[in-house]
């Protein structure tokens, strides 16, 4: 238990000490909300889809969660590089508790970022339809964060250095985001594209979050929750197995 | 009278099987480690006595780091048996882990945390009781003369300060064995001197077994009670420096080392993490 706690608190400490990281991680979501929100808003409205800011903000929050949690998972490579990983691996604690502490730490940071972005969005005009379901929104934020921190951990456990990082960004993180329905409605999409979007686990996170915050689901609350809980569990198990196999 | 005799014989019969564990901190029997076709460690056997300062020397790629990784539970052997404090890491990894401290060849501190936080992190991982934690951390940071810098972020520390902090950290959980993998590489003579004086003091005051590697052979000659020399995965000798010099008819241990291991240069492939560090170093302004 002590190991889980100390891994968790370590990530929080590191995060709050790096001011540039906090600022940098809020800049991109803000840009997305402003540029796309105000840029595409009029067209969205003309197409009869309603207020685009309302639609977009949950997507941008999901994006923040995705980016932060995957990069938290990938931080293992840094620890490997700077040797700190060895310090944790020779300690008399199970690798599972180290992995769980890391995942909770990464997920906590991601959820905090998500909340920051949500607060920012209120400034540019986002209205939370149903204040009572904020808690449900929080549940989705936590699920999304755990899912992708575990995914990052699993990937990083197999990587020796940062060479593959760009590859992961371009061929995993970006597709996960752009194909998730964060930016566009998932109803009435053409054939194959429709299937691809429905295979993207983040689609269910985005939909759940959007439903919780604005009241409109494209799938359904039950489906979103089921898919996310399932995927979060599977990825956590895979991440733990991968992490337990690390050799330094 | 007869009573004492019986007692003695009982004691003997108990002591004989565990004698090995009582007197030896580390035992290595027919240890072999293969990576595919390459045999990194090729059937080595030796013991390190309790409280001994033991140097493990060899050219690059001789099998030193592989042996240390096996002893410290970071790697499993292909065959053979090792014990630390009488415990076999194959059977009880955590039991072994509680009994040793290690200073790795590469730095292993969290640079974003303070010296105190690095110590505290270690203390929690090793389950040190809360009420003992503070005093133990203070004691050790005083010992390596870093107490006044305890709240500074490690990023701001010099190489020598980091090494001292790593030594203090490695001792925090009262280990019976301290592993030091090239602890003085890249440090100036003053710092090296300091570090060895800490270590000698430790082995004298607390009877800690010290197992170290170094490329500065004169350090081993000065500090080690016994020296093992390994090359191409084979153990060439395990003796006191004096005996090694006598056997090789050389004046100092470095000459003996060269005589035993030959003059050829050793080119070792470096690991990917070291490659990465090199790149990062070059990139830094």
**With an 8 Å Cβ cutoff, is A6 touching chain B?**
yes
Whether A152 and A107 have beta carbons less than 8 Å apart is answered as no
Between CA A101 and CA A91 the distance in angstroms is 14
Here the tokens at position A10 are 């370590």
Question: Nearest CA to CA, how far is B113 from chain A (Å)?
Answer: 7
Q: Which of B69, B108, B185, B269 to mutate to test the interface with A (most CBs of A within 10 A)?
A: B108
Between CA A80 and CA B184 the distance in angstroms is 22
Taking contacts as CB-CB distances below 8 angstroms, the residues of chain A near B126 are 91-92
**With an 8 Å Cβ cutoff, is A21 touching chain B?**
no
Residue B14: what pLDDT? 42
Taking contacts as CB-CB distances below 8 angstroms, the residues of chain A near B154 are none
Here the tokens at position B201 are 């003091």
Q: What is the ipTM of this complex?
A: 0.85
Answer with the residue of higher pLDDT: B263 or B235.
B235
Confidence band of B275 (pLDDT split at 50, 70, 90): low
Taking contacts as CB-CB distances below 8 angstroms, the residues of chain A near B75 are 247
The answer to whether the Cβ–Cβ distance between A5 and B73 falls below 8 Å is no
Residue B241: what pLDDT? 94
Whether A65 and A151 have beta carbons less than 8 Å apart is answered as no
Here the tokens at position B171 are 């001792």
Instruction: Identify which of B44, B22, B24 has the alpha carbon closest to the alpha carbon of residue B33.
Output: B44
Residue B276: what pLDDT? 57
**In chain A, which residue's Cα lies nearest the Cα of B97?**
A92
**Helices and strands, number each (H, E), in chain A:** 12, 0
Taking contacts as CB-CB distances below 8 angstroms, the residues of chain A near B33 are none
Q: What is the pTM of this model?
A: 0.84
Question: Nearest CA to CA, how far is A69 from chain B (Å)?
Answer: 19
Residue with tokens 């105190």: B116
- Write out pLDDT tens, residues B50-84: 999 999 999 888 889 899 999 999 999 999 999 99
Here the tokens at position B282 are 């070059």
- Write out pLDDT tens, residues B110-131: 999 999 999 999 999 999 998 8
Taking contacts as CB-CB distances below 8 angstroms, the residues of chain A near B275 are 161
Residue with tokens 């990530």: A11
Between CA A100 and CA A119 the distance in angstroms is 28
- The CATH classification number of B46-283 equals 3.40.50.300
The answer to whether the Cβ–Cβ distance between A90 and B110 falls below 8 Å is no
Q: For the residues of A135-158, what is the DSSP string, one character each?
A: HHHHHHHHHHHHHHHHHHHHHHHH
- Write out pLDDT tens, residues A192-246: 999 999 999 999 999 999 999 988 899 999 999 999 999 999 999 999 999 888 8
Mean pLDDT in residue range A52-78: 91
Whether A143 and A150 have beta carbons less than 8 Å apart is answered as no
């Amino acid at each position: 238990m002590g190991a889980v706690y100390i891994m968790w608190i370590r990530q929080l400490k590191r995060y709050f000490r790096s001011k540039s990281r906090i600022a940098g991680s809020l800049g991109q979501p803000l840009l997305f909300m402003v540029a796309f929100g105000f840029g595409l808003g009029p067209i969205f409205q003309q197409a009869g889809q309603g207020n685009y800011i309302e639609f977009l903000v949950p997507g941008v929050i999901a994006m923040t969660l995705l980016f932060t949690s995957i990069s938290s998972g990938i931080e293992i490579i840094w620890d490997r590089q700077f040797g700190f990983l060895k310090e944790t691996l020779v300690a008399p604690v199970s690798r599972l508790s180290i992995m769980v502490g890391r995942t909770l730490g990464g997920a906590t940071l991601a959820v905090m970022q998500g909340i920051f972005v949500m607060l920012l969005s209120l400034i540019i005009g986002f209205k939370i339809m149903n204040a009572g379901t904020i808690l449900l929104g929080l549940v989705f934020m936590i699920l999304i964060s755990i899912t992708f921190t575990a995914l990052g951990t699993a990937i990083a456990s197999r990587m020796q250095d940062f060479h593959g990082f760009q590859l992961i960004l371009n061929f995993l993180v970006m597709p996960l985001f752009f194909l998730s329905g964060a930016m566009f409605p998932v109803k009435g999409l053409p054939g194959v594209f429709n299937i691809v979007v429905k295979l993207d686990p983040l689609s269910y996170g985005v939909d759940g979050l959007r439903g919780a915050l604005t009241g409109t689901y494209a799938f359904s609350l039950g489906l979103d929750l089921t898919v996310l809980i399932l995927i979060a569990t599977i990825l956590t198990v895979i991440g733990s197995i991968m992490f337990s196999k690390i050799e330094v | 009278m007869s009573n004492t005799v019986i007692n003695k014989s009982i004691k003997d019969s108990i002591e004989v099987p565990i004698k090995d564990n009582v007197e030896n901190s580390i035992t290595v029997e027919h240890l072999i480690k293969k990576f595919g076709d390459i045999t990194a460690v090729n059937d080595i056997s030796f013991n390190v006595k309790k409280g001994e300062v033991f140097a493990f020397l060899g050219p690059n790629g001789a099998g030193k780091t592989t042996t240390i990784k096996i002893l410290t539970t970071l790697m499993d052997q292909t065959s053979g048996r090792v014990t630390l404090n009488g415990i076999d890491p194959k059977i009880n990894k955590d039991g072994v882990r509680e009994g040793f401290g290690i200073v790795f060849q590469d730095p292993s501190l969290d640079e974003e945390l303070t010296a105190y936080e690095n110590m505290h992190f270690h203390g929690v991982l090793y389950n040190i009781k809360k009420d003992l934690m503070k005093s133990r951390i203070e004691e050790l940071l005083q010992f390596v003369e870093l107490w006044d810098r305890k709240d500074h972020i490690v990023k701001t520390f010099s190489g020598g300060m980091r090494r001292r902090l790593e030594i203090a950290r490695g001792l925090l959980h009262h280990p019976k064995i301290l592993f030091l993998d090239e602890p003085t590489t890249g440090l100036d003579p003053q710092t090296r001197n300091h570090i060895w004086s800490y270590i000698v003091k430790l082995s004298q005051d607390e009877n800690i077994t010290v197992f170290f590697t170094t490329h500065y052979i004169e350090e081993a000659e000065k500090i080690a009670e016994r020296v093992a020399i390994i090359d191409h995965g084979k153990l060439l000798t395990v003796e006191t420096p004096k005996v090694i010099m006598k056997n090789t008819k050389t004046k100092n241990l470095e000459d003996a080392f060269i005589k035993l291991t030959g003059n050829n240069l050793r080119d070792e492939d470096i690991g990917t993490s070291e490659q990465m560090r090199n790149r990062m170093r070059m990139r830094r302004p």
